A and B are shown apart, each in its own frame.
Chain A
């Protein structure tokens, strides 16, 4: 079974600065997808960015980018030019591509990000 670990329960960043949230995972599969979800106080789950394991190029979405290290099974999220609206809980998640594995997102325990004005 796959596991996802987020070792930073809480992080803090100054507005306009850059912050990196860590995520590691464990799997024996070679093909899978990784996601970062944002959960603001409204509790809505919002997809921030996705990465396909077979793609070596790191995904980017505006101020959000990832550092995907497949061999190390690491998938960190970098937020540049942090804004007050970035304050939220961030979840890293894994999804298998194999139908025989069923279908689910395996989540980490989350990192709560505070943004200081």
Chain B
């Protein structure tokens, strides 16, 4: 089944403890992105990648890191999480051209206490 797989689905952590949210797609998509969803703000892009080894900042990149060492994987790293990073996170992938839209993962609910 063609899909974007995110793990974990739920995560509670403490301030300052490094964590990684994994994202993998099995559709050979070129483009991948991370978004965060907050009430009243919709979804905002954190980082994106249009090719292996090529990543770029989205609208809200502060406090996050990403890497794209291989086409299928695009992990999101929070080196020192803070409570303001409590949010719902989505990974998404696209074949490339804009018309095809994005396929989203199931989301990761992160709580930083």
Binding site for B on A (CB under 8 A): 4, 32-33, 35, 42-45, 47, 50, 52, 91, 95-97, 99, 102-105, 107-110
Contacts and interface: CB of A to CB of B under 8 A. Distances in A.
A104 B42 CA distance: 14
A-B CB proximity, top 3 nearest:
A45-B104, A107-B42, A104-B45
Nearest to B109: A43
A43 B98 contact: no
B56 interface: yes
A105 B97 CA distance: 12
A109 B99 contact: no
A95 B102 CA distance: 10
- How many chain B residues sit at the interface, stated as a range, is 20 to 34
Interface string B46-71: 00101000001011000000000000
Contacts of B88: 43
A97 B104 CA distance: 19
Interface string B83-113: 0000010101010011101111011000000
A105 B107 contact: no
Contacts of B97: 97
B31 interface: yes
Interface string B6-33: 0000000000000000000000000101
B98 A97 contact: yes
A31 B56 CA distance: 23
Contact of B98 (A47, A91, A96, A109): A96
Nearest to B32: A103
B101 A95 contact: yes
